[in-house]
Amino acid sequence: MSFIYIWISTIVRMLELKVENLSPEMKATLKYLAGIAGPSGYGSKTTAQQISEDSMPSSHNLTAIVTGATSGIGLETARVLAKRGVRVVMPARDLSKAERVKEIIQKESPQAEIIILEIDLSSFGSIQRFCSEFLSLGLPLHILINNAGKYSQKLEFSEDKIELTFATNYLGHFLLTEMLLGKMVETAAESCIEGRIVNVSSVIHNWVNPKHFSFMKLLNPKSYNGTKAYAQSKLANILHAKELSRQLKAKKANVSINAVHPGIIKTGITRDYRGFLTDSLYFVASKLLKSTSQGAATTCYVALSPRVGGTSGKYYADCNESHCSALANDESNARKLWKQTRALMHRRFLLPVGKCGEEGEEVSITN
């Protein structure tokens, strides 16, 4: 609920000042509350369905992989893409849950093609198996949406002995992207359709203190705070998009990668806090939250809209290009994190160093 308190304090401060004296952050909050459209023509109240209806004339014959598609905004993203005619591949840890989601989507869109493949994004071995299975299908790959997210209140480790939030949210998606990037570049070249990678991040990345952003500590922290770990993983998602975008541009590949903040989505947690918040503050808090469809809108916009064509390495919120933190915009930091991550993968015998970056360059993973 920390998000809510920040938003509420901003609203209270707004009420104390004249509109012309508001800071850019406060004006942005006011714009968010009102649902005012930005340069793209969309705003905070736009839904994924609206984006889909205004997007590419035909999305048939496109193939998309959407992680975390068995619930929340991932499910809504998969539903909207499938309804648009996109073949959707759903990587899932819980296959029975994925089958139920498939039934729900196909009940609404009987012609939808949904492919379910098993994956555990916190496990390097599982990701390798998923990628091998997907590539063996001989399908093209136009869209990769790295949506799945993990938040853990207590310190947990993956089977690779890496802090679970960082392993799932960042390292898992990094490896997935690396192993499928060749297929995306190939598909884009053969189809002449720009490949699009979307990293679902969060505005919470702004909370990361540069002094505490250490690769080794992210892998195996001595002390643990769930919110801090989540924020750091979401910062890493943006840095990944920034550096991979630079590399793809250098290679003149017809593939883009961008990061998005979906917004704060309505869940049952707000009801749990109603006894603590006054009725007036609860009312304000409820207006700050998005529906699931509104939360999926920015992801669908970046994945489908022709207006985003040719744009890469950017950060989007409310279906418009937005500002991320200075740390997230630091190119040297992005490059350093990418090298450290590649070195870790190399050490685990997963990927040869230099596959998508500097050929043969060995990098220490110490920070």
Q: What residues are annotated to the active site?
A: 224
**Those residues with Cβ within 8 angstroms of residue 90's Cβ, 6 or more apart along the chain or in another chain:** 66, 69, 70, 78, 98, 101, 102, 114, 115, 116, 117
> CA–CA separation, 193 vs 115, rounded Å?
22
**Those residues with Cβ within 8 angstroms of residue 304's Cβ, 6 or more apart along the chain or in another chain:** 51, 52, 55, 56, 59, 81, 84
The two beta strands, 63-66 and 143-146, are parallel
Q: How many CB atoms lie within 10 A of CB 104?
A: 13
